[in-house]
Structure 1
Amino acid sequence: MNSIHSTAVIGDGVVLGDGNVIGPHAVLCGPLVVGDDNWIGPGVVIGTPPEVRGVEHGEPWDEAPEEAAGVRIGSRNVIREHALIHQGWHEQTVVGDDCFIMNKVYVAHDSRIGDGVTLASTVAMGGHVRIGDRANVGLGAVLHQRRLVGPGAMVGMGAVVTRDVPPFARAFGNPARIHGANAVGMERLGVDAAAVALVQAAYAAGDVPGEDDVPEVLAPHFVWWAKEVAS
C-alpha cells in the first residue's frame, strides 16, 4: 500500500510500487515508474516535460505524452520538498536506489543518478548529467550539461562543475578543480591506506587510475568511469 496525500496529483501513466509516501501537493506525471518505499515530499514535481524549446508541453498531469522518454525512480529514496525531476527527452531520466535528494534539487532531462547518491539542497543539474554510485554533491553546486561525476566522488558546496569529476575524487571551486581523493569514502569500502595513497598520488599528478591500478573493490567504479567517458 502507498500513502498518498489527498492534494497530491498522480497523473496518467504513473506506475507506483509499494510502501511509497507521497506528500501534499506533489505532482507525478507519466510516463513514470516508481519503485518501493520511497519518501516523496511536499511540492515535489516529477515527470514534467524537459526544459527544451520546441518540446510540446501539453497537460502531462492529465495525459502522459506519447513521445516522452519517461522517468524511472528506484527504491528507498528520499526526495525532499520542492525537488524537480524532469522527463527524459532522448532517454529516460533515472534515479537509482537509496538516494537522498534534498530540497529544491533540480534534475534535468536525460540525467542518470546511480545508487546511494546524496544531492544536497539546491543542487542544479543540466541535461544528460551522469552521477555514479555513492557520489556526494554539496549544497548549491551546479553541474553543466553532459558532465560526469564518478562513483564515490565528492563535489564541494557552491562548486561549478564544467569538467568531469573522476571516481573518488574531491572537487570544489568555480570552476571546480580536483583537490585530491575522497579518502574517507574509500576507507568505508575497506580500501587500505596504501591504495588510498595511490589514488591520491594519481590525482595529484593529473591522472586517473585504470581498473588494473586499484584494489578489486574499486575496480568496478573505474570500469564504469571508462565506459561512460567513452560513450
Structure 2
Amino acid sequence: MREVLGQYKYRGNERLAPLLGLMLDRAYALLQQEQSNQQLNGAQQGDFFNKPFPVFQSKLRVRVGSNLWQADLLVPVPVSAVRLSERGFNQAERLAEVVSLRRGVPQLPLLVRTHHTAKQSFKSRSERLADMKHAFAGNTDSAVLQSLNEHLHSRASHQLEQRPLRIIIVDDIYTTGSTIRACAEALQQLCRSQNCSAEIYSLTWARS
C-alpha cells in the first residue's frame, strides 16, 4: 500500500485516483452502515422504554436499508501552495471527488492551510502535534460561506436542521491523528461562526 500511495501522491500517477477513490468509497459504506445501525439501535431502545409491553425483535438491523445514515458534506484536507505546486493536485480532493460523485454528498473547501509545514513522515508524534496545531483555519471566502449557508437553508427546507451538520474530513493517510484533529477544531470554529452545530467524522485511505 505504501508503494501505491507513493506512486499516486509523490510520483504524480493520477490514474490511480479513481481506484483509490473506490477503496475510500468502500470505507464510506462501512461508516454509513455503522452509523445507520447505531441510529436504529437507539430508536428501538426508545421504543422499548415507551411501550408498556415491549416486544423483542430478533433481527435488529432489518430496517437499516430504509433509513441509511448520510453525510452532509465532504471536506478534503487542504495542502499548502508549496505542496500543490510540487504535486500539481491535492490528493485528498481527488479522492473526495470519487466519493462525492458516487454518494451524492457535496464536497466543499471549508478549510484552508494557514502555513506550509515540512514533511511529516520522519517526525515524532509530539513534533507532528506541534506542527499541525495552527496549520488550518476555516475558509472565510465569501463564495464558500455562501455555499455553506445555501446548504444549511436547504437542510432546513428538508427538516434536517434539528440535527447537527455531518461533515467528513477526507485525507489519504492517518498517522497520529494530528492533522484530523486540527482540521476538526477549525471546522467546529467555522460552524459556530455560522450558528450551526456539527458532527465531525474522518475518512482516510490508509492508516500508517
Fold match (TM-score > 0.5): no
The TM-score, its normalising length taken from structure 2, stands at 0.24
Higher relative contact order (CA 8 A, sep 6+): 2
Structure number with the higher helix fraction is: 2
The TM-score, its normalising length taken from structure 1, stands at 0.22
The structure with the larger Rg is 2
Structure number with the higher strand fraction is: 1
